[in-house]
A and B are shown apart, each in its own frame.
Chain A
Amino acid sequence: MKAPTIWIGLAALAGAIVLGIASGPVPIPFSKTLNTLLWAAGVPVNAHPSPEEAVILLKLRLPRVLKAALIGGGLAVCGVWMQAAFRNPLADPALLGVSAGGGLFAVISLSLGLTFAGAWTTPIVAALGGWSASVFVLAVGRVRREDQLLVLLLAGLAVNAMAGALISLILLHTREIEGIRAILFWLAGNLEVRNWTEVGVLATFVLAGTAPALFAGRAMNLLLLGDDEARSLGLPVRRFRIALLGMNGLVAGAAVAFSGIIGFVGLMVPHMVRGVVGADHRRLLPASFTGGAILLILADWISRTLVRPFDVRVGVIMALLGGPAFLLLLLRQKGVRA
């Protein structure tokens, strides 16, 4: 990646973070926000922030923005993985049912009140759901090898429908109204943060899941040439694909456990980023992580500021942005028969 591209990407990310932190019910000017962030990072600054500002910016808003960045980056990388694994630029964890699988398992875990691993419980259970859905979609794709795009999207549709129905069933039988509301709120995209532990657990899942993939960029490139080509170039395709989908289930599942179902990040970001840095995964993966982080911080900012004080959920914003984008991609898609 050319040096300027990296710096532009990081500058845009920093800009999005500052924007995300500066805006909220109590407006705080950019200069003060920046000042506070630098102060918190230990940089000597002229004016110390007031205690209220420090609490609002660092305790309330910063964790939320970081959470949005981790979820967005993680989901974008998931999109890249799935597109490579299925050799299809229209793959996305939400479209292919991985998020719904994670969501269903997370709802089960929450409604049963599972706590076998403390704060880690729901993400672990959701990862299992993500894996189950991946295995299902992969298996359907293996049975019918022709018209892969259509088969994958329809398999995803089936998983989404089944998981959706079971989630409704669980909600209908949840006794307290508040419990239902909480689950609905979370499913529609939840970037609220209760404490820093939550951000820490999320960061562990997302970073531990995505970091190893950064070293597999060259191998992922081969996968895009086709199974025979990749194997004749020395890639153990079957094992590699399973490993990719495994990491995908882990990260997408964890993302759902923390933030509900946020679609289209994995679809839109890699597509836009490819236009800038090309298809090489060694550039595409880090650039997509950055792009996903920026996109979700901005989507969260829109969801919080669009109709104040009414909170349009971030999942809704992403669906409204992503739906048309997906249709556009589908209609412009060349080289793949549906």
Chain B
Amino acid sequence: MTGASGLVASGISARLGERTVLRDVSLAASPGQCLVIIGPNGAGKTSLLRCLAGLLKPAAGTVAVDGRDLLSAGERERARLVSYLPQEAQVVFPFTALDVVLMGRHPHLGWLDAESARDVEIARQALKACDAAALADRPVTRLSGGERRRVFFARTLAQRTRVLLLDEPTADQDLHHALRLLECARRDADTCVVAVLHDLNLAGRFADRLLLLDDGKVVAQGEPAEILDPGVLNPVYRVAVTVLTHGKHRIVFPDRLPDSRTRH
């Protein structure tokens, strides 16, 4: 696997306390590609992202970025390779949005350095890309959930890493901002994007590849057209879906629960 470009994870198993949350998961994302992880609640999506980010130490398996083993890398080196947007950001201290985005520059700065004009420029660009330039000087404690999320997303962009790991980046975004964030994430041809998304249609719209996770195992992996299929989705999500075709995209409509007979 060494020498492979982009993010490569193989044979990952992980435990949270007593519970095994991931079993033998392998995946790859090439530069410029977007891999979207889907799956029902509790499937292990967040644990998988945390393993890829080096935050949860897998019991077995390897994670590498451009052939560099991530699990043995130092904290700072890892932070220059991989950035991570957690699902929930709770801030109780009144940093300004710009302060938060500038924190993304931390792994690129020496212990005593102050941020340079270039760092500030990078941070402002990132805010602008997320339609959050106007929030720069506002305390993040006073922003709405959606606004705060965009600021934290801008923070991962400002980190300028090879790999972007995004846990539900669009959860509280309106349609415009959801599209905008995902466009932003995959704009750079050198960046590998791995995102967890709940919205299957958004997932199909943006992913080059989809990975369907259930109970810690990879159920299916492939192009959206292969995965967004009633035969694949129904047993995992325990619903009956209808899949429509719109241009080259698939649209998943949750039709009914498998045991109910009435159609809505």
Given contacts A221-B99, A233-B104, A234-B75, contact A228 B94 (CB under 8 A): no
Q: In the complex, which residue of chain A has the Cβ closest to the Cβ of B167?
A: A228
Q: State the CA gap A280–B100 with chains docked (Å).
A: 10
Give the interface SS of chain B, mostly helix, strand, loop or mixed: mixed
Q: State the CA gap A221–B155 with chains docked (Å).
A: 14
Residue pair B93, A222 in contact (C-beta under 8 Å): no
Q: State the CA gap A147–B129 with chains docked (Å).
A: 36
Number of interface residues of B (CB under 8 A): 35
Partner of A335, one of B92, B106, B109: B92
Q: In the complex, which residue of chain B has the Cβ closest to the Cβ of A88?
A: B92
Which residues on the B side are within 8 Å of A184 (C-beta)?
Answer: none
Residue pair A224, B75 in contact (C-beta under 8 Å): no
Which residues on the B side are within 8 Å of A233 (C-beta)?
Answer: 79, 103-104, 106-107, 159
Within 8 A of B (CB), among A45-102: 87-89
Residue pair A225, B89 in contact (C-beta under 8 Å): yes
Q: State the CA gap A225–B106 with chains docked (Å).
A: 13
Answer yes or no: A274 CB below 8 A from chain B CBs: yes
Given contacts A221-B103, A228-B86, A335-B92, contact A236 B141 (CB under 8 A): no
Answer yes or no: B117 CB below 8 A from chain A CBs: no
Binary A-proximity of B84-118 (CB < 8 A = 1, otherwise 0): 10100111111110011001101101011010000
Which chain B residues have a beta carbon within 8 Å of chain A's beta carbons? 50, 53-55, 75-80, 82-84, 86, 89-96, 99-100, 103-104, 106-107, 109, 111-112, 114, 139, 141, 159
**5 new A-B pairs (CB below 8 Å) besides A221-B95, A228-B53, A235-B106?**
A224-B92, A225-B91, A231-B75, A232-B84, A279-B139
Smallest CB-CB A-B distances: 7 pairs: A234-B79, A234-B107, A232-B84, A234-B76, A279-B93, A335-B92, A279-B95
Which chain A residues have a beta carbon within 8 Å of chain B's beta carbons? 87-89, 215-216, 218-219, 221-222, 224-226, 228-229, 231-236, 274, 278-280, 282, 334-336
